[in-house]
Chain A
Amino acid sequence: MECDRCREVHAAEGWTAETAEHAASCVGCREVLAIEASLIDRLERAGRAWRRGSVGASPRRRAAGRRAVAGVVRRRLARAGAVAAVLAVVGVASVLVLGPTSGPALAVMARQVREAGTVRFVIEVPAGPLQSGTVWVSGRRLRLDLPNGDAIIADPEARRTALVSMSSRTVSAAESDGGSSRLYSVLLSLGEARRVESEGFVEQEGRAAELFRADISDTFDGMVGGGVARVWLDVSTRLPLRVEIPARMRGEDGSERDAAVVLRDFAFDLELPEALFETNPPGFSELMPRATTPVVGMEIGKRIRNLAMGVQMFMHDHEGAAPDRLEQLTPYVGVEGIRSPARPSEAIGFEYVKPTLPLQPEAVLAYERFAEGAEHVWVVLVDGSAHVITREELGRRLGR
């Protein structure tokens, strides 16, 4: 058998008695066929993985926009090359610093949302303790407009959560904000999801979008979280178009079932009137003062997680060196980012523990400054996860 024929048969049929016999007596073919066999194996695996992949499309690509969405997306992506490069850098940085714990696209999305002055979105809840409505966020204040015309306003700065009833023209202290701050926190936490996978490009609300699945099973316990969230990101702006968050819902018959809470119709940097967040409108009955510890707690959780992300970004920009002080993170998290909502008068609300190299994922990176009598403390670990732990546990982790 000639060498050319041997290689041709090997390419078409793989190892046969003929090719093996020739290779046994021809050193050149033996080396080449060994390399090519490995290449063919890679080709087969790559092709098989592609063939068996999920169809992954969204059904919402209606007739009006039925041009090949992928083509549109590609053209937009070509224009957004710089964005892609930034995403790649952030992604590499995340992986280098913390391991493959976060999807860079969602990390960038969360950061953009966080940095937006104001945010508006609609919550759709199938049933259960969370409530549907339109959410308005300005800084740390949050308002949920309910379908019946009432509104819940949460103002961590003022330590108030108020239910404003338009029908009875009264203001009363609210038990909760309807879960809206919780859902908003989940949105911001998506950047820290353990596993993020792209499902491909689809059309969403008339825009070219990339759909991601994000594992948020360890983001929150209980009602929200514990599964996979789906996020549609605008390919041009990398802002969310739609987010579906898994939740446990209780039906009218008392049975629990899994459902998706939908966040949609996002808008950013709107001019919002101050009155939107006024918890004590003139003419209304007196608002009962009430501390809103859960809201403040959520806010602390968000900020302390952001600190971890700020440290990642700082290390990326400083060749792996960690910051010496929290103030060095202000370019990444802002001046407000190092304050604690529980201690608004203090410029720095957290204690920072400079990480040592090599990084220990379980080591404490920062914890909230706490009052003498506090039993529990928010901490964030080097791996970016935030937890509430006892003071004893904190002391143990700090070796005190």
Chain B
Amino acid sequence: MREDAELIRACLACRDGRGGSGDGWDEFRELADRHAEGLRRLLMGRLRDPWRVDEAVQETVVRAYEGLSGLRDRERFGSWLMGIAAHVASEQAREAGRSGGIDQGERAQSAGVRGPDESLRRAVEGLPEVYREVLWLRYWGGLSCEEIAGTLGSPVGTVTKRLSRAIAMLRESMAGEETAGKEAGDGVRSVS
């Protein structure tokens, strides 16, 4: 596997027309993908919502790509990227404060948190914010209960209670969906 510094050199060489082909994006994406998990963890801790995090990740990597030639210590790409992400997160948090949150219709259309388990994602989206938030932080952010408590400024006991309640609500809501699905299936069968 190529080192970060080597990928940066290759990316810059492509961009500057000194070697390779294309615009160096493939090299840069390989580089950024190595840090994607850390990036999302960091941003999740700040933004608490995978929908917002995906927007921030996009913005972060684009800024990093555009500013790559300004990176002096190429061995420290990861921490440099996290610094950009922290700036982006602050900007987005301010923006969210001004715009008053995310429209649920837009959230439902989001590709950002789309994944193989769509019914689960929809069920999480349907929970009240305090419960949704702890689930996002715990499972999408990969944070421990102590880290979530630090992020939210709440006691650990409050976090574990919310988490337990969130999972119970999720269980009930998904059981309801499955029952509805079965009934719909029965209906189809009886008609045919």
A→B interface (CB under 8 Å)? 4, 7-12, 32, 35-36, 39-40, 42-59, 61, 63, 66, 68-71, 73-75, 77-78, 126, 198, 200-202, 259-260
Closest 9 pairs between A and B when the two form their complex, measured CB to CB:
A47-B139, A11-B164, A8-B164, A43-B139, A47-B140, A12-B160, A55-B32, A57-B58, A74-B106
Residues of A within 8 A of B111 (CB): 70, 73, 198, 200-201
How far is the CB of A395 from the nearest CB of chain B, in Å? 40
Of the listed stretches B2-10, B69-77, B116-124, B182-190, chain A binds B116-124
A12-B164, A39-B174 provided; 14 other pairs, C-beta below 8 A?
A: A8-B164, A12-B159, A42-B120, A45-B117, A46-B116, A47-B139, A50-B140, A55-B33, A59-B65, A61-B62, A70-B54, A70-B55, A74-B106, A260-B22
When chains A and B are docked, how far (Å) is the Cα of A43 from the Cα of B120? 8
Contacting pair B160 A11 (CB below 8 A): yes
Known: A43-B139, A55-B32, A70-B58. A8 touches B106 (CB 8 A): no
Contacting pair A39 B167 (CB below 8 A): yes
List 28 interface pairs A-B (beta carbons < 8 Å), by A numbering: A7-B168, A8-B160, A8-B163, A8-B164, A12-B145, A12-B160, A12-B164, A36-B167, A36-B168, A39-B120, A39-B174, A42-B117, A50-B40, A51-B36, A51-B141, A54-B29, A54-B33, A55-B33, A55-B36, A57-B62, A59-B24, A63-B66, A68-B55, A68-B58, A78-B105, A78-B109, A259-B21, A260-B21
Residues of B within 8 A of A59 (CB): 23-25, 28, 62, 65-66
Residue of A whose beta carbon sits closest to that of B156: A12
Residues of A within 8 A of B12 (CB): none
State whether the Cβ of B89 lies closer than 8 Å to any Cβ in chain A: no
How far is the CB of A88 from the nearest CB of chain B, in Å? 12
Contacting pair A126 B140 (CB below 8 A): no
Residue of B whose beta carbon sits closest to that of A32: B171
Contacting pair B117 A46 (CB below 8 A): yes
Residues of B within 8 A of A77 (CB): 109
Interface size class of B (residues with CB under 8 A): 35 or more
How far is the CB of A65 from the nearest CB of chain B, in Å? 10
State whether the Cβ of B59 lies closer than 8 Å to any Cβ in chain A: yes
Residues of A within 8 A of B116 (CB): 46, 49
State whether the Cβ of B113 lies closer than 8 Å to any Cβ in chain A: yes
How far is the CB of A231 from the nearest CB of chain B, in Å? 15
State whether the Cβ of B110 lies closer than 8 Å to any Cβ in chain A: yes
Known: A36-B167, A39-B170, A46-B117. A55 touches B57 (CB 8 A): yes
When chains A and B are docked, how far (Å) is the Cα of A201 from the Cα of B161? 37
Contacting pair A52 B36 (CB below 8 A): yes
B107-145 interface (Cβ within 8 A of A): 109-113, 115-117, 120-121, 124, 135, 138-142, 145
Task: Pick from B23, B39, B62, B113 the residue with the most CB of A within 10 Å.
Answer: B62
Contacting pair A51 B40 (CB below 8 A): yes
Contacting pair B174 A70 (CB below 8 A): no
Contacting pair B164 A7 (CB below 8 A): yes
Contacting pair A50 B105 (CB below 8 A): no
When chains A and B are docked, how far (Å) is the Cα of A10 from the Cα of B161? 11
How far is the CB of B84 from the nearest CB of chain A, in Å? 12
State whether the Cβ of B50 lies closer than 8 Å to any Cβ in chain A: yes
Contacting residue for B161 out of A8, A32, A74, CB 8 A = A8
State whether the Cβ of B47 lies closer than 8 Å to any Cβ in chain A: no
When chains A and B are docked, how far (Å) is the Cα of A12 from the Cα of B167? 10
Residues of A within 8 A of B36 (CB): 51-55
How far is the CB of B164 from the nearest CB of chain A, in Å? 4
Known: A47-B140, A69-B58. A126 touches B115 (CB 8 A): no
When chains A and B are docked, how far (Å) is the Cα of A10 from the Cα of B160? 9
When chains A and B are docked, how far (Å) is the Cα of A9 from the Cα of B40? 27
When chains A and B are docked, how far (Å) is the Cα of A49 from the Cα of B114? 10
When chains A and B are docked, how far (Å) is the Cα of A56 from the Cα of B32? 9
Residues of B within 8 A of A51 (CB): 36-37, 40-41, 140-142
Contacting pair A55 B61 (CB below 8 A): yes
Residues of A within 8 A of B25 (CB): 58-59
Known: A11-B164, A39-B170, A46-B139. A71 touches B106 (CB 8 A): yes
When chains A and B are docked, how far (Å) is the Cα of A48 from the Cα of B32? 17
Task: Pick from B23, B54, B124 the residue with the most CB of A within 10 Å.
Answer: B54
Contact flags B14-38 to A (C-beta < 8 A → 1, else 0): 0000000111110011001100110
Contacting pair A74 B142 (CB below 8 A): no
When chains A and B are docked, how far (Å) is the Cα of A92 from the Cα of B167? 32
Residue of B whose beta carbon sits closest to that of A81: B109
When chains A and B are docked, how far (Å) is the Cα of A107 from the Cα of B46? 40
When chains A and B are docked, how far (Å) is the Cα of A39 from the Cα of B166? 11
When chains A and B are docked, how far (Å) is the Cα of A59 from the Cα of B67? 11
Residues of B within 8 A of A11 (CB): 160, 163-164, 166-167
Task: Pick from B54, B117, B167 the residue with the most CB of A within 10 Å.
Answer: B167
Residues of B within 8 A of A63 (CB): 66
